[in-house]
Amino acid sequence: MIAGSFSSTARQIAIRVVRTGIQCVFYPYERCTDLVAGIDRRVTGWFAKTEYIRTGQCKMTGQCCKAIGIEFPAAWQKYPWLVRWLGRWHRLRYNFESVDQQRNLLVYQCNYLRTDNRCGIQKFKPRLCREFPEHPWRGRIRVHKGCGYQYVPRKTHEFKIKLHRSKNSLL
Ligand code: SF4
């Protein structure tokens, strides 16, 4: 019994060490690619506009860390071992705990989420979290009910701004 709990503790420690090692490699890499992606987005923004405007801010409901959906290619459903390995990778890389699988969507909750709904690794959280909710050029992504972010069609948003300005100029 004691030997069993000792080996499980040793396993947990080994996982933490490996996870920290992976983070030490991936974090600087992601930060560098963020810089390149940021420049690319800015330059592309001179010629194109996103279909939706993302407004609002985080309300700290913690929902996006309790039900994280990660899609994988639908064809992988034929290979359950591949999906299992993907789940193991997410656990090792992100400290995500599997809660469900719906077709080609894996659902996790994050073990870094604290009881006050704050991120336990805020300064070093992975890009996956830093970019959420994404702001794609076309379409919008689904956010959890009660989330502080909303996606407003650009035309509606611009119309509201014009209306607001004209109201202010009349005052
Ligand atoms: S790392 Fe932080 S932001 Fe990302 S899912 Fe976990 S608690 Fe949330």
Tens-digit pLDDT profile for residues 11-64: 999 999 999 999 999 999 999 999 999 999 999 999 999 999 999 999 999 999
Q: What residues does ligand 1 touch, defined as CB less than 6 Å away?
A: 65, 68, 110, 112-113, 119, 121, 125, 129
| pLDDT at position 101 | 95
| pLDDT at position 150 | 93
| pLDDT at position 2 | 67
Query: How remote is the CA of residue 82 from the centroid of ligand 1, in Å?
Result: 24
Whole-angstrom distance, CA of residue 123 vs CA of residue 120: 9
What is the sign, positive or negative, of the torsion defined by CA atoms of 107, 113, 119, 124?
Answer: negative
Which residue(s) pair with 102 in the sheet? 105
pTM of the model: 0.82
Which residue(s) pair with 97 in the sheet? 109
Query: How remote is the CA of residue 93 from the centroid of ligand 1, in Å?
Result: 12
Query: How remote is the CA of residue 98 from the centroid of ligand 1, in Å?
Result: 14
Q: In this predicted model, what pLDDT tens digit does every residue of 99-125 receive, in sequence order?
A: 999 999 999 999 999 999 999 999 999
pLDDT band for position 1 (cuts 50, 70, 90): low
- Nearest-atom index, ligand 1, CA of 125: 1
